[in-house]
Structure 1
Amino acid sequence: MLPAAEFVERPSVRRVIRKNVSDTAVSALRTFGRAVELGCHSAIGAVGDIARRRFQWRETLFQGWYFVSVTALPAILMAIPFGVIVSVQVGNLIHQLGADSLIGAAGGLGVIKQGAPVATGLLLGGAGAAAIGADLGARTIREEIDALRVMGVDPVHRLVIPRVVAMVLIAPLLNILIIFVGVTAGYLVAVTAQGVTSGSYWLTFGSFTVVADVFVSLAKSALFGLLVAVIACQRGLEAKGGPRGVADGVNAAVVLSVVALVLVNLAITQLTAMFLPVRLA
């Protein structure tokens, strides 16, 4: 026989667990809704500001240069080992099958279709999201955002839209840089260490990698930049609780950005595999 106290306690524990789960789910849905609303507001507001010649070009250029300065060197350092790893690992497998000339195709497809956009998103989600979340979070706890609203200035048009546009524009450029460095590193390893001729490498690279793959890669990187910017701006504008709240907002921005990138990349990969399968050019 169990004590009577346990019969009283168990239902309360179930209720607490049920309430916590339901509150978490509802809070997640509300956060997702606010993020979608902020993204739509930013997209529509950017078009309207450009049409009315009120777009914050100076702030956009400043933010864009900052994103480039903090991500360009890490992008190169990430692209080199990625291209080398793809070339070595795939090259060893292809060498066992007696098709060494296909290393160019494997390297090109791996870097362009997956490596470059994912690396771009991770870099922007790390350095870019942290910078945006910290900046807007500090402004929020210092009540600068409230002061802008009191003066009749919309923080979305003044602060959010320039950062979103800057990241969307910088993401494809960073993607191109990673593609160039990654493919070059894979080519050098294949030619110097694996005995692949230069002509066969580029021949298979051009045969399997079509222009549509490059456009999909650029589109994915721009979409990842949009997701990162919107999530980071939302967490920064909703920061509260002093410096601890800013730190929590930055951590949430980075984590949510990475999770969103992984899920969206999975969905896009499935769609492109259905409608744009790998084929000879």
Structure 2
Amino acid sequence: MSERGGNAGPQPSSLGVLRSNFSSTVLASVGTFGRAMRSGAQATMIGVADAGRLRFQWRETLTQAWFLITVTALPSVLMAVPFGVVVSAQVGNLVHQLGANSLIGAAGGLGVIKQGAPLATGLLLGGAGAAAIAADLGARTIREEIDAMRVMGINPVQRLVVPRIAAMLIVAPLLNVLIIFVGILAGYIVAIAALDVTPGSYWQSFGAFASSADVWVSLAKSTIFGYFVVLIACQRGLEAKGGPRGVADGVNAAVILSVVSIAVVNVVITQIAALFLPARFA
């Protein structure tokens, strides 16, 4: 006699469940990134058209830019100081063992310009900036303000997304310059005070190896990072649903996707820059 009341069929294994969850997560992330890029293309075209017709929302753009500066300027300084100190100390100790103290300025300065400043800018914008934008737009979506704008014939992308993209493109390179300045200054102080490097040799080696192309690449990277961050944050905010819990989930997803996108894009840009702009040897 066959047993009754048992399992009707084989239960999925833990490996199968893990594979299914991973696949669904990857597909959802790719879909989110694709919708963000489509929204970004639409917002860019609308912004260019508004600028051409002299109808661009400069007041809202400046308001959003000032808001981003207030939430990221001080953390930028606080992040740049220890980063410049760590880079200068670690590189300085290694170079000191090789007997090439005169290269500390070049190594520390280029490390801050090429990698430290744009990554710190992107992470700050992806953390504080993306969270603030996603929370703002998510709350508007939950309160049905976005639906009300559509009913009144107002395009939410034109009214809300375009000014935030323009503001991010303004703030990102400014933060990058601030982090470069503070990071190099902090590294210089450590090199002079703790590593017995003379001021002249520090700046001489820095000027011999660094070039204006390095700064332009750093500014371009930070601007691209900011563009990806604001697109993802706006997309997650406009798609928020499910009450306050949905807003929190949207903010969390915006921050995570921003950080992951910055890491991937940084690798791609670094490889392209190394291919077309190899390091200069003095």
- Superposition TM-score tier, normalisation by shorter sequence: over 0.9
Q: Give a deviation string over 1:215-250, Cα, whole Å, max 9, x none.
A: 000000000110000000000000000000000000
Q: Give a deviation string over 1:175-233, Cα, whole Å, max 9, x none.
A: 00000000011111111221111111111101111111000000000001100000000
Partner of 1:211: 212
* 1:98-137 to 2 correspondences below 5 Å: 98-137=99-138
Q: Quote the offset at 1:85 in angstroms.
A: 0.7
Q: Quote the offset at 1:272 in angstroms.
A: 1.4
Partner of 1:143: 144
Q: Aligned letter for 1:80?
A: V
Distance 1:17-1:108 versus aligned 2 partners, 3 A rule: closer
Q: Separation in 1 of the partners of 2:91 and 2:217?
A: 23
Q: Separation in 2 of the partners of 1:17 and 1:278?
A: 44
Q: Quote the offset at 1:8 in angstroms.
A: 2.5
Aligned residues: 279
Partner of 1:58: 59
Distance 1:20-1:181 versus aligned 2 partners, 3 A rule: closer
% same residue: 66
Q: Quote the offset at 1:18 in angstroms.
A: 6.8
Q: Separation in 2 of the partners of 1:69 and 1:139?
A: 21
RMSD after superposition: 2.0
Q: Separation in 1 of the partners of 2:269 and 2:20?
A: 35
Q: Separation in 1 of the partners of 2:124 and 2:249?
A: 19
SS in 2 for 1:8: coil
Q: Aligned letter for 1:219?
A: A
Partner of 1:254: 255
Q: Aligned letter for 2:195?
A: Q
Note if 1:278 corresponds to 2:279. yes
Q: Separation in 1 of the partners of 2:244 and 2:34?
A: 26
* 1:72-221 to 2 correspondences below 5 Å: 72-221=73-222
SS in 1 for 2:197: coil
Q: Separation in 2 of the partners of 1:59 and 1:182?
A: 31
Q: Aligned letter for 2:62?
A: L
Partner of 2:239: 238
Greater displacement, 117-126 / 51-60: 51-60
Q: Quote the offset at 1:49 in angstroms.
A: 0.9
Q: Separation in 2 of the partners of 1:268 and 1:127?
A: 23
* 1:24-39 to 2 correspondences below 5 Å: 24-39=25-40
Q: What is the TM-score with the length of structure 2 in the denominator?
A: 0.93
Distance 1:14-1:87 versus aligned 2 partners, 3 A rule: closer
Q: What is the TM-score with the length of structure 1 in the denominator?
A: 0.94
Residue 126 of structure 2 contacts residue 258 of structure 2 at CA under 8 Å; is this kept in 1? yes
Q: Aligned letter for 1:176?
A: V
Q: Separation in 1 of the partners of 2:124 and 2:144?
A: 29
Q: Aligned letter for 1:198?
A: P
Q: Separation in 2 of the partners of 1:120 and 1:55?
A: 26
Residue 33 of structure 2 contacts residue 232 of structure 2 at CA under 8 Å; is this kept in 1? no
Q: Quote the offset at 1:113 in angstroms.
A: 0.1
Q: Quote the offset at 1:15 in angstroms.
A: 8.0
Unaligned ranges ≥5, structure 1: none
Distance 1:266-1:6 versus aligned 2 partners, 3 A rule: farther
Q: Separation in 1 of the partners of 2:20 and 2:180?
A: 48
SS in 2 for 1:196: coil
Distance 1:20-1:275 versus aligned 2 partners, 3 A rule: same
SS in 2 for 1:176: helix
Q: Separation in 2 of the partners of 1:199 and 1:262?
A: 35
